[in-house]
Amino acid sequence: MKKVNLGRAFIAVAATGLLAAGMALPSCKKSSSSSPAMTLYDSLGGTTMVADPAAPGTMIEKGRLGLRSVVDSTIFVIAADTAINEYFTVLLAEVTSGNTTGFNALSKNLTDFFCVATGAKNFTYGGKSMTAAHDPAQNSRMNGKANAADFDAFVADLVKGAQKNGLSTQLIGQVGALVGTLKTQVVQR
């Protein structure tokens, strides 16, 4: 499996709150310039540990839980979206027959992908590169090459998945900007 280069996809969000605090307390020697930039992952809850509702008794980073929730909701939105669900025929056939192996693998890989892309430090993405994942010749689970309209439909479904989980308009805009950087790799016709 190829490792994806997420360098360009990484979004460092300006720590406006910290900057404001720095300006309000000019005597504070530790200036905001020495603080690491706040990432989108931090904005989503970051590394704060919370109970994992999917695995009672275990904990999960709040940022990861938020992204996983968005990912899982989005997969369901896509499954019902006749504009693009044809690309997911392998996955949908599996789930319809009660086999959730592929769903679980996709959920994990998409969650890892978004964790890394939004700035998480404690996870790695082990799936295919964005180009390979969306090339039917390299991924038999991708039923055809996507065009620009398909991409826009996917992003609209992602926004719906994010809204279902209460992400703010501002955070949704940042996730949208992030996925927009991947369009040239995903759109292959």
Catalog residues that contact ligand HEM under the rule CB under 6 A: 84, 87-88, 90-91, 102, 106, 109-110, 113, 127-128, 133-134, 141-142, 146, 150-151, 154, 179, 182, 186
Those residues whose C-beta lies under 8 Å from the C-beta of residue 93, and which sit 6 or more positions away, are none
Q: Which of 21/177 has CB closer to ligand HEM? A: 177
Structure tokens at 38: 């706040």
Q: How far is the CB of 164 from ligand HEM (least distance, A)?
A: 18
Structure tokens at 173: 């805009």
Q: Which of 52/135 has CB closer to ligand HEM? A: 135
Q: How far is the CB of 84 from ligand HEM (least distance, A)?
A: 4
From the CB of residue 56, how many other CB atoms can be counted at a distance below 10 Å? 7
Q: Which of 3/20 has CB closer to ligand HEM? A: 3
Q: How far is the CB of 113 from ligand HEM (least distance, A)?
A: 4
Q: Which of 2/48 has CB closer to ligand HEM? A: 2
